[in-house]
Chains A and B, each alone.
Chain A
Amino acid sequence: EVQLVESGGGLVQPGGSLRLSCAASGFTFSSYEMNWVRQAPGKGLEWVSYISSSGSTIYYADSVKGRFTISRDNAKNSLYLQMNSLRAEDTAVYYCARVGRGYSYEFDYWGQGTLVTVSS
């Protein structure tokens, strides 16, 4: 059974940092591309970042570029999101999502999410 479990969320002050983790199991993690997607309270889904299976290709949304860093450790079956210079508008539930095996980048499995609250 495919499982994605996020952790690392919490309350952080504006300007602070946080590192999110996503532990993957039930599939060959090193063969799959991954994403982070977030959802602000009461709002829609917002794509945040993408990383290829090897980690060699990375993309970011404009809203987080230069502040967030996506990475992965295939030996540990884990995906990460390092978030620096956090702002109130980064407050959201953060989901990790796996890219399916097709070629059109559907997100076929999602974690349950971890809440990040940026507030003083």
Chain B
Amino acid sequence: SYVLTQPPSVSVAPGQTARITCGGNNIGSKSVHWYQQKPGQAPVLVVYDDSDRPSGIPERFSGSNSGNTATLTISRVEAGDEADYYCQVWDSSSDRPGVFGGGTKLTVL
């Protein structure tokens, strides 16, 4: 089955730019979605189809996807962005199509 690999943790100072990667074999050929999860809360979709934002998500959240790596970029990081972030794809060629990355804990220093 398809595997997505994320770094366990990323740290960034307030006001700086955070980049969270999601690695997968030829992931650039797939649509990647990103979720933010704060402690005790359900996940929230922050980027879908590599780089689109749902209504209500700040423009500070953006995404890209090419080759074997997709990236979630958070600009002008705020304390409220501290959370776990998960990438996800749908592997349509599989009968177990739902795939999540292991998650990345974003710490705002």
Interface residues of A, Cβ cutoff 8 Å to B: 35, 37, 44-48, 50, 59-62, 95, 97, 100, 102, 104-108, 110-113
B8-49 to A contact mask, C-beta < 8 Å, 1/0: 000000000000000000000011010101000011110011
B67-106 to A contact mask, C-beta < 8 Å, 1/0: 0000000000000000010101010000111111111000
Q: Are A45 and B43 in contact (CB under 8 A)?
A: yes
Residues of B within 8 A of A35 (CB): 98
Q: Are B99 and A107 in contact (CB under 8 A)?
A: no
Tell me the smallest distance from the CB of A61 to a CB of chain B, in Å.
6
Instruction: Please give the number of chain B residues whose Cβ is less than 8 angstroms from any Cβ of chain A in the complex.
Output: 26
A-B contact pairs, 30 of them (CB 8 A): A37-B43, A37-B98, A44-B84, A44-B86, A44-B100, A44-B102, A45-B35, A45-B43, A45-B88, A46-B100, A47-B98, A50-B97, A59-B96, A61-B98, A62-B96, A95-B43, A100-B48, A104-B30, A104-B31, A104-B49, A105-B97, A106-B31, A106-B49, A106-B88, A107-B33, A107-B43, A108-B45, A108-B54, A110-B44, A112-B42
Interface residues of B, Cβ cutoff 8 Å to A: 1, 30-31, 33, 35, 37, 42-45, 48-49, 54, 84, 86, 88, 90, 95-103
Residues of B within 8 A of A59 (CB): 95-98
Instruction: Determine the residue in chain B with the shortest Cβ distance to A65.
Output: B96
